[in-house]
Amino acid sequence: MATRTDSALSGPALYEGTKIPAPVPSWVQVSDARRESGNVLQVNFGPNHPSTHGVLRLVVDLDGEEVVGMRAVIGYLHTGFEKTMEQKSWWKAINYPSRIDYLATFQNELVFVLAIEKLLEIEVPAKATWVRMALSELNRLHSHLIWLGTMGLELGVQSMYMYCFDQRERVLDLFEMVTGVRVHGRYCQAGGLAEDIPAAFVEEARAFCRNFQKMIGEYERLTWQNKMWQRRTQGIGVVSAEDAIRLGLSGPNLRGSGLNWDLRKSEPYLFYDQVEFDVPVYEQGDCDARARVRIDEMRESLRIAEQSLDKIEQMAADPWISGERKVVLPPREELQTSMESLIHHFKIVTEGYRVPAGEVYVAIEGPRGEQGCYVVSDGGAKPWRVHFRAPSFLTIAAAPTLCQEHLIADLIAISASLDTLMGDSDR
Amino acid sequence: MTSYKRVPGLVEVNEALGETTLVVERERLNEAALYLRDKLGFNYLADIAAADYLGWGGEVAGSWGSAEGRDLNVPYTLGPSLVAEPKPKRFSVSYHVLALRSDPVRLRLQTWLDDGEQVATVVEIWPAADWLEREVYDLMGVVFEGHPNLVRVLMPEDWEGHPLRKDYPIGGEPVRFSGEA
Amino acid sequence: MGIADGKRLADYGLSSERLLMEGKGPGAFEQEVAQLEQAVLATTLDKAVSWAQTHSMWPDTFGLACCAIEMMAVTGPRYDLARFGMEAFRNSPRQADLMIVSGRVSHKMAPPLRQIYDQMLEPKWVIAMGACASSGGMFANYAILQGVDRVVPVDVYVPGCPPRPEGLTEGIIRLHERVIAGVPPAYEMNEGIC
């Protein structure tokens, strides 16, 4: 292929047919000879750009309109989550992960709380797990809606933005009903949920799901049957399954290349092995395939959410948090009668609960891919080390591989179809 | 079940909380990684996480209570809990790998090093390690020998220091209030 | 912040919670704005210009993090920003009047932020949206600028993490009130660092 043989800097290929550049997998380099020929222009898709989905800087070498060199520079949103969480108690640290991937807010705090619960070896009541599942799937819907709206905006199908944001508001209404705020609800607690769900939630959520079923059909007509969309996504940004595994892609980016890998089916967590749903997989590996995976996933999320809502309705009177008093606050009524409850309450609020020493890695299927959390505890009331595995970090590193030999307009389509998020990648 | 006895440089195999950790010698990490990828089928590198254990083993964070009357052997009792085991060296670098197939297996490949010691890069084995190792270098200061592009990825290029180390201050400023001068 | 004679807007009785306060219905607010305008002695032409500025104040696309999503929600169908004439987010700072800094600003992002601000043409306003832009928010650490007013002069701070779209709209309305009352943009104030 032109870029590989052309570059004097390429090293030995990983395997036959790989498109991953060498020696640096995340940097498509232009040979000095080509650069000196005077045809190559280096352009900055600077951190402030409408189509880079956040503060991403792409340094792109262009020969006319063709992308001949590219690398990504990130870090413009580096927030120091991991170090900040080491300073806070376990309880307070749960506030932070929500802000990492700010579209999949619930799933971020879920993965951190799952890691804490794994270290604590605490049992979570079934109702809490079903509610977490329902909210996770609604969160996935929320993330995919915003992805679809912004991808439409960038590919020229601008009305998608308004339609998707309208539906997104309804999802946020449900979150507001449960957590009190639209986003960053901080609803997960070690041992279950912070509070019981309101009585009207199941009915409202069902009404939303019924309405949203019809909307998905409308979105498909606005996208697949739109010639602009087809021409800009089909055959663009193809990545083979083997390359996708090597690059560490996950989630819809893997499933768009033909790999049937979804953590909810392959390594089930919560109660995903007790619900029926399908995993959409498309073979082509181009932008269109990745987009179709996400839209089909929206349908499957509705199925899972509806099944979870049925379960929640049956368990309306069940506890929503574990009864383990060393970790979970006792109910307020008990504080008036039981001395021990008062002491437990005091200790948990002032010192914080202790998590036994150990290290765990928990991974869940977020909307962007494998969202992981590596936690090391020293047995104390504060985390010793928290590390988040961000799917967008590796996706952005893989973007140059996908963008080789494409036109600059395809760059926008590829970066939109990869669904990266800077808060997630920069942490 | 997979047997890890023949992994090169193996020091020990830990099984805890449903997870398997293979500790290997720092010098033989590359061989171990190749063995895992080619012989045992761990084709997917999910994550590289480093941890700094400077100050580990001292007073457990948050232990403000007194020990009188508490049973030290019961985990997460409100009181000083079990003292964590001492760690072999200052830094641990953990590679979370996955055998991505119909019967998936996850594994943590771990190696220990002191400040100043280098680890061989696994970029040639799992290209996903490119940016993951850059992040570990940027935030922890662990140098990966043989990495083709080991520059900072999250912090600005001219930043000094490695923020996630335990001897690096948290930073920030004291909060000003509008009533003050 | 103060106007040339050092008094604060609140000293003139200007408040956006007018509708919630007893006796301060819409009529009373117009009275206050009129009093303020007399105090500032804006000419009819100035008033006309201010009116025009507030009715088509185009923001720059400076969404950084979670607040950016709520800022996008403000442009959405439910919290319609187009009723203020502001739905046209300009990608080029040369064409923008308002920079809504929505999200946490890291030290790496501060120079591009200042560069974008410098590229905007006067008159220009800055809204610091959210806790992170106002003061660093929940991130008191090595990576985050503790308040965007360290690098750019800010007109309105909108609290919240993230602020509700109604909250951002309130901040925008307060900015419009400020402009209509004749208060100059923050970079002309005698306080502030820039």
pLDDT digits (tens, 9 = 90+) for A289-337: 999 999 999 999 999 999 999 999 998 888 898 888 888 888 888 888 9
CA of C83, closest CA in chain B: separation in Å? 34
In this complex, the chains that touch A, judged by 3 or more CB pairs closer than 8 A, are B, C
Mode of pairing for the β-strands spanning C125-129 and C98-102? parallel
Query: Taking CA atoms, what residue in A is nearest to C166?
Result: A182
Within 10 angstroms of residue C22's Cβ, the number of other Cβ atoms is 5
Contact at CB, A76 and C142, closer than 8 angstroms: no
Contact at CB, A378 and B56, closer than 8 angstroms: yes
CA of B127, closest CA in chain C: separation in Å? 27
% of chain A residues with pLDDT over 90: 55
Contact at CB, B171 and C107, closer than 8 angstroms: no
> Which uninterrupted H or E stretch holds A42?
strand A40-45
State chain A's mean pLDDT as an integer: 88
C141 chain-B contacts, CB cut-off 8 A: 170-172
Within 10 angstroms of residue A346's Cβ, the number of other Cβ atoms is 12
Supply the pTM of this predicted model.
0.88
- Environment class of B165 (CB within 10 Å of its CB; exposed 0-12, middle 13-18, buried 19+): middle
* Model pLDDT, residue A390: 93
* Model pLDDT, residue A13: 44
Q: How confident is the model at residue A15 (pLDDT cuts 50, 70, 90)?
A: low
Q: Is A368 helix (H, G, I), strand (E, B) or coil?
A: coil
Distances (CA, A) of A136 to A305, A339, C110: 9, 37, 34
Q: Does the pLDDT value for residue C120 go beyond 90? A: yes
Q: Does the pLDDT value for residue C75 go beyond 80? A: yes
Q: Does the pLDDT value for residue B25 go beyond 80? A: yes
d(CA A23, CA A236): 24
Complex-level ipTM beyond the 0.85 threshold: yes
A13 or A328, higher pLDDT: A328
d(CA B115, CA B97): 25
Contact at CB, A358 and B17, closer than 8 angstroms: yes
Question: What is the average pLDDT across A20-34?
Answer: 85
* Model pLDDT, residue C1: 35
d(CA A238, CA B34): 28
Question: What is the average pLDDT across A221-246?
Answer: 88
> For A182-192, what is each residue's pLDDT tens digit?
999 899 999 89
Q: How confident is the model at residue C34 (pLDDT cuts 50, 70, 90)?
A: low
Q: Does the pLDDT value for residue B81 go beyond 60? A: no
A327 chain-B contacts, CB cut-off 8 A: 76
> For C101-111, what is each residue's pLDDT tens digit?
999 999 999 99
Establish, for the pair of chains A and C, how many residue pairs have beta carbons separated by less than 8 Å. Answer: 95
HSE, side-chain direction, 13 A CA sphere, residue B64: 12
Question: What is the average pLDDT across A358-384?
Answer: 92
* Model pLDDT, residue A18: 80
Question: What is the average pLDDT across A338-354?
Answer: 86
CA of A161, closest CA in chain B: separation in Å? 31
CB B156 within 8 A of CB A75: yes
State chain B's mean pLDDT as an integer: 83
% of chain C residues with pLDDT over 70: 76
Q: How confident is the model at residue A8 (pLDDT cuts 50, 70, 90)?
A: very low
Q: How confident is the model at residue C95 (pLDDT cuts 50, 70, 90)?
A: very high
Contact at CB, B61 and A381, closer than 8 angstroms: yes
> Which uninterrupted H or E stretch holds B107?
strand B105-113
Query: Taking CA atoms, what residue in A is nearest to B148?
Result: A24
CB A66 within 8 A of CB A402: no
Question: What is the average pLDDT across C86-97?
Answer: 89
Question: What is the average pLDDT across A377-396?
Answer: 91
CA of B52, closest CA in chain C: separation in Å? 18
> Which uninterrupted H or E stretch holds B111?
strand B105-113
Q: Is A180 in CB contact (< 8 Å) with chain C?
A: no
Question: What is the average pLDDT across A96-104?
Answer: 92
d(CA A354, CA A344): 12
Contacting residues for C22 by C-beta, under 8 A, at least 6 apart: none
Q: How confident is the model at residue C87 (pLDDT cuts 50, 70, 90)?
A: confident
Contacting residues for C34 by C-beta, under 8 A, at least 6 apart: none
* Model pLDDT, residue C9: 56
d(CA A313, CA A199): 9
Most confident of A15-24, A30-39, B163-172: B163-172
Question: What is the average pLDDT across B41-52?
Answer: 92
> For B109-127, what is each residue's pLDDT tens digit?
999 999 989 999 999 899 9
Dihedral over Cα of C50, C52, C53, C55: its sign: positive
* Model pLDDT, residue C20: 46
* Model pLDDT, residue B118: 92
CA of C191, closest CA in chain B: separation in Å? 13
* Model pLDDT, residue C19: 43
C146 closest CB neighbour out of B169, B170, B173: B173
* Model pLDDT, residue B66: 38
* Model pLDDT, residue B58: 63
* Model pLDDT, residue A379: 81
